[in-house]
Amino acid sequence: MNDLLFLSRALELAERGRGHVSPNPMVGCVIVHNQRIIGEGWHRQYGGPHAEVNAVRSVTDESLLPESTVYVTLEPCSHYGKTPPCADLLIAKKVKKVVVCNDDPNPLVAGKGLAKLRAAGIAVETGLLAEQGRELNRRFFTFIEQQRPYVMLKWAETADGFLAPPDFRPIPISGALSRQLVHKWRTEEDAILVGTNTARHDNPHLNVRLWSGRNPVRIVIDKQLSLPTSLHLFDNSQPTLVYSIVPSEAETVGQTKYIPLDPATDFLPQLIADLYQKKIQSVIVEGGAVLLESFLSQGLWDEARIFKSPKVLGDGLTAPRIRGRLVDTDRVGDDWLMTYKPV
């Protein structure tokens, strides 16, 4: 029971890295001696010290480590990357036992860290709270195992099922709290994607204004390169990728990069494959009905977050029909937020 308690604390700590560590996973670590926590840490920033390093550094009396148990949400790394191997650190500190939620799916690690610990005589236990660990790092697991980014669909619809009025006027469908929550989400994902119609009619910034945190990479689908460069998306205020089926006059303009795809091959799978190559681990699709339906029909989605507003339009652009299982429902101001996963 105490193992679950300490691992739950490690999962809480790992969550603090959200929006700061991608493409690395979020990892938390708790060090326990005689049922008392003597050290804690989490991976705070990509390229910075890992959770185990920060936890060991927080221990005031390192002489206790040989009689301590380390609880960590993901298998300690065993390779040299931007930081030294965490498995080597735990071996050097002669910890007694390591308890882990999940094996690392990364081929560079993939059991090697646990094997190294066992070879050094350290007791290892895995699989506790494994489901919670995978859910925490679902973006990372999708990226490694399926070799593509985690795709989140997001839209707001009226009580009678419309995304926008018939004339495509950009009007707020969801409430102020919902819009603020969306900006928080933007700080947590690597990229945000819209289609041509949304870019043209809404002229969105796709940045973070109602929350504090990093801006995502902006992705625009503009197959014929017909969008005017006066749009906010082309203001060069943040990295922007424009995907088309025709070549552009310039490959790069400021922070805007133009990427032509093969017109003879399915567009979205090509785009998703290119995002994987660019190490974009997660993307929010905020496009209009056509783009959202394309992702849904091709099964290119992992999660859908839908705001249901009490507003009524009576007519307009019909919202997509979600074909998935409802996994969560929350009240956000006057709106309902419904979260779906594929069946």
pLDDT in tens, 200-242: 999 999 999 999 999 999 999 999 999 999 999 999 999 999 9
The yes-or-no verdict on residue 188 having pLDDT over 80 is yes
The yes-or-no verdict on residue 81 having pLDDT over 80 is no
The answer to the question of whether 77 is labelled as a binding residue is yes
Residue found under tokens 């301590």? 68
- Same domain for 132 and 280? no
- Same domain for 186 and 296? yes
The answer to the question of whether 325 is labelled as a binding residue is no
- Same domain for 282 and 152? yes
C-alpha triplet 142, 152, 338: angle, nearest 5°? 125
Model confidence at 79, in pLDDT bands (50, 70, 90)? confident
- Same domain for 124 and 155? no
- Same domain for 95 and 186? no
- Same domain for 187 and 84? no
- Same domain for 134 and 211? no
**Residue 303 annotated in active site:** no
Per mean pLDDT, which range of 77-91, 95-109, 113-127 is the poorest? 77-91
The answer to the question of whether 108 is labelled as a binding residue is no
Q: Residue 133: give its domain's CATH number.
A: 3.40.140.10
Domain span at residue 286 reads 147-341
- Same domain for 90 and 127? yes
Residue found under tokens 């050290």? 39
Mean pLDDT of the chain: 96
Model confidence at 72, in pLDDT bands (50, 70, 90)? very high
The answer to the question of whether 148 is labelled as a binding residue is no
Decide if 14 contacts 47 (C-beta within 8 A).
Answer: no
pLDDT at 109: 82
Q: Residue 211: give its domain's CATH number.
A: 3.40.430.10
pLDDT at 268: 98
Domain boundary (140, 158, 186) is at: 140
Model confidence at 23, in pLDDT bands (50, 70, 90)? very high
- Which tens digits make up the pLDDT trace of 293-302? 999 999 999 9
What's the average model confidence in pLDDT over 147-166?
97
The answer to the question of whether 95 is labelled as a binding residue is no
Q: How far apart are CA 105 and CA 342, in angstroms?
A: 22
pLDDT at 270: 98
The answer to the question of whether 206 is labelled as a binding residue is yes
What's the average model confidence in pLDDT over 164-179?
93
What's the average model confidence in pLDDT over 118-143?
98
- Same domain for 320 and 256? yes
The answer to the question of whether 12 is labelled as a binding residue is no
- Same domain for 130 and 171? no
The answer to the question of whether 101 is labelled as a binding residue is no
Catalytic residue (choose from 12, 15, 40, 52): 52
Model confidence at 1, in pLDDT bands (50, 70, 90)? low
Number of domains in the chain: 2
